[in-house]
Chain A
């Protein structure tokens, strides 16, 4: 289990947005999709996923709709809304900047200072 990366606070929302941006998903699907696209490096605590979904829906970033799953079960599907798309773009840019900055900082050598 120690090969798994711990989730930084606040990144779950971003990951959920990214996951549903690739196509409508039900909750369990979101979980699987995040694992898949993070190359199995990230594992989401199952209980914390749903509050995040409800929070994002409440904030109007994603929208939900009842549909039928692959195995013909009734399931609730989430998709990205227009404001969710712009939020995802913004957060992605910020994350890239942040991770680059942290990377620089951590990669700094004594003689460079």
Chain B
């Protein structure tokens, strides 16, 4: 065996050397023989002749030797690969088109696959995932059905006692200030109940998580740090555990640091106790519950227990009898990915379509090439090339293309993943994108099988070449028609149809984005900068302190050169606002009725900074103080929906912290993210504005747990300078208050529309890619048919046909194919756009103008792509054509 390997290694490593050696060996043999013959008395010339003759054909013998060594197939492979590269260099246009098509399709697929992998396929980084569940509630009233993972304190209390699983509660994530030396940094804090890390199953790297005595009202202030913030802010010092740090303006004891491998959705820098209860925050659906089944419990047991404990919780919450409510357990993994699933499915379908278009394109390019090479194939068969060697040759060519294209795809995919990594985090994909083994395997299989299929089709076609026909009649003498032409026309038609489907989808999403961007904002968004900072801070637990901060910082900001006006509000337009129940009375004597509204506290000047038009009455001014009569301003939607347009300015409202307020003004609506109606990414909701001076301390504390207030500044266009000025002004009033972010109102809008933006961009770029591939396809088919029909056109011109007519003749097939493709694609699109329904606003899925516009564009572009090669016919000289061959 070893001898054998050595021999093979030598013959592979030194092929040239071996060849020479074989020559030498045989020459030696012949010379020796000749010598012997001469010694036996044969004449020299005769001996030479006889020696050669008896030895036989040297090159045949050499070939037989190489075959004996198992090198013949290797030789042919090397020859085929060389030949394939030479062929591709000779037609760089074809090679570039195929490689680019393959590269784009495979690269794109790799990138999107890695997103799907990170978002849907890769298991969450928690042990024994199959025992980790989310507790959801399903509510049914009449035909309405609601399934939600949001839970209240009643559910928490009921499920906490369960025997078959251990449950932990999660609250929201909000920005807070972490004191570092003499300044503060703005970090993300999540509030979780005791047992959170134990339920997820990831032990802390240092220390411990909170216990039950800390996780209840009045418990000690404790905090768990993330590994990242521990390294960044505390230099990875283990003695931090057990020390006190300044968080939210109060001392907090650090009890633990998470492990380096712990990751969860969204960025969280530290965790503090949630202290779940059934009042305040816990009275509404503000928690999420995650549970881990105990090792001796089955799914069925856990499900039953959740059901019965849930029923008790609903009983205590006094859910109306018309509502059927049920507590269920859902796999945590699935619940975590539900929001992305639909979009990723659409995305992967679109990518699949682009890939399909790409494949069709390559197939059609290969077919075209196959038909122009009929003569070459005929010649090779006539010279004795067997069908096997022909198939091997063409397959090698296809594999070389597939390999180069696959490599290009891999490089493109790698670059795309690098670029996407930064983007997808903002859209809820929190696991790292990786170009991992699975992706590589899928890519490699894809590229190889695709190129193999395409290589084989023309090869099989070539084997059926009629040698005589190809040599005598082929090569530029054909006329329109033939089987391969029909096949290619069908392929290009399919390509156009698929392209139309994608174009329609992309156009609808772009339409949606434009519609939302151009919704009347209700205020003047130009030249307004907002800065936010967290006031979830012990130093700002009283109304008085908050209002002093606002007053002093606004004074400082107004002194910045270029600032026209400034104010503070809990919210600005395009954000999600605090929702709160209110009771209204349309007169002092009338009955109160309860409804829900969004609530915003503002300082005087808020409406003028944003230029929100006042429709009736007045807005706040400096006379609305803590001691003056409590007042409120409402928006038009509030007046219409809650007060039914009746006598608003004489009405009272109990809200904004359980205070009875007189309504003194009505302002115009602004766009905001919906918290109540859930219709679209931005909409107009009822809004109640109250003066910041009249907002009770308790309401401030609650609002600041969830939201960071915003300074709004109208200033000239030098944004960078203004931003730095605002930061300096705020820190001059409170050096421990870090500014979380500074944005323009346009950026606020874009942030509210980010998911629509991403939809439009993703599908839009896929559609552009599909369009360019389809254009290449149409160009290819027309260019090829022009080449094939040159002789026919020459004869026609010689017989008196006009140039215009000839060009028309050449262009027509491409245009007809694209029209047919657009019609079929339109029908396909009409059937499939309902998939997009949930993503569209301001446009119906089957929107006639969109269908017509995309179809028209596609036809015009195809016509141009057809015209380009046809224009080459202008240089056609009938005489030279007829003299050919």
Contacts and interface: CB of A to CB of B under 8 A. Distances in A.
Contacts of B233: none
Contacts of A59: 4
A58 interface: yes
Interface string A40-51: 000001111011
Contact of B29 (A45, A46, A51, A71): A46
Q: Is the interface of B mostly helix, strand, loop or mixed?
A: helix
A56 to B, nearest CB: 9
B3 A54 contact: no
A50 to B, nearest CB: 5
Interface stretch (B57-65, B283-291, B379-387, B496-504): B57-65
- Among A45, A55, A58, the one with the most B-chain Cβ atoms within 10 Å of its Cβ is A58
Interface stretch (A3-11, A74-82, A101-109): A74-82
Interface string B1-14: 11111111001000
B69 interface: yes
A74 B28 contact: yes
Contacts of B64: 47-48, 50-51
- Which bracket fits the contact residues of A? 20 to 34
B734 interface: no
A69 interface: yes
A15 B548 CA distance: 111
Contacts of B11: 58
B29 A58 contact: no
A73 B31 CA distance: 10
B25 interface: yes
Contacts of B33: 28, 46
Given A55-B68, A83-B3, A47 B61 contact: yes
Nearest to B18: A54
B54 interface: yes
Given A28-B28, A58-B8, A47 B65 contact: no
Interface string B21-32: 110111011011
Contacts of A71: 35
B234 interface: no
B21 A76 contact: yes
A63 interface: yes
Contacts of B3: 60-61, 63, 81-83
Interface in A25-70: 26-28, 31, 45-48, 50-52, 54-55, 57-61, 63, 66, 69
Contacts of A73: 28, 31-32
A60 B9 CA distance: 12
B55 A46 contact: yes
A81 B82 CA distance: 37
B21 to A, nearest CB: 7
A89 B331 CA distance: 70
A16 B32 CA distance: 19
Nearest to A62: B3
B29 to A, nearest CB: 5
A83 B64 CA distance: 24
A75 B32 CA distance: 11
Contacts of B172: none
Contact of B65 (A28, A46, A54, A83): A54
A75 B22 CA distance: 11
B73 to A, nearest CB: 14
A50 B1 contact: no
Nearest to B51: A46
A26 B33 CA distance: 12
Given A46-B54, A60-B4, A51 B28 contact: no
A54 B67 CA distance: 9
A71 B8 CA distance: 31
A26 B68 contact: no
B21 A54 contact: no
Contacts of B54: 46
A43 to B, nearest CB: 10
Contacts of B69: 54-55, 57-58
Contacts of B67: 51
Interface in B133-168: none
B28 A58 contact: no
Contact of B28 (A45, A46, A75): A75
- Among A51, A71, A82, the one with the most B-chain Cβ atoms within 10 Å of its Cβ is A51
Contacts of A60: 1-7
Interface string B219-253: 00000000000000000000000000000000000
A9 to B, nearest CB: 15
A52 B5 CA distance: 18
A50 B28 contact: no
B56 to A, nearest CB: 3
Contacts of B352: none
Contacts of A83: 3
Interface in B63-106: 64-70
Contact of A27 (B5, B6, B29, B35): B29
Contacts of B6: 60
A79 B797 CA distance: 76
Contacts of A66: 21
Given A46-B29, A73-B28, A81-B3, A58 B56 contact: no
A75 B29 CA distance: 9
Contacts of B1: 60
B61 A50 contact: yes
A81 B56 CA distance: 29
Given A57-B7, A60-B2, A50 B65 contact: yes
A69 B28 contact: yes
Interface string B570-610: 00000000000000000000000000000000000000000
Contacts of A81: 3
Contacts of A26: 25, 28-29
A61 B54 CA distance: 27
A28 B32 contact: yes
Contacts of A75: 25, 28
Contacts of A51: 61, 64-65, 67-68
A46 B25 contact: no
Contacts of A27: 25-26, 28-29
Contacts of A63: 3, 7
Contacts of B8: 58
A50 B4 contact: no
A46 B64 CA distance: 13
Contact of A58 (B25, B61, B70): B70
Contact of B25 (A45, A50, A82): A50
The 7 closest A-B pairs by CB, nearest first: A60-B3, A60-B4, A47-B56, A55-B68, A51-B64, A54-B68, A54-B65
Given A55-B68, A57-B7, A81-B3, 7 more contacts: A31-B29, A46-B55, A50-B61, A51-B65, A58-B7, A60-B6, A66-B21
25 contacts: A26-B29, A27-B25, A28-B28, A28-B29, A31-B29, A47-B57, A47-B60, A47-B64, A50-B29, A50-B64, A51-B64, A51-B67, A54-B69, A55-B69, A58-B7, A58-B68, A58-B69, A60-B3, A60-B4, A61-B3, A69-B28, A69-B32, A74-B28, A75-B25, A76-B24
Interface of A: 26-28, 31, 45-48, 50-52, 54-55, 57-61, 63, 66, 69, 71, 73-76, 81-83
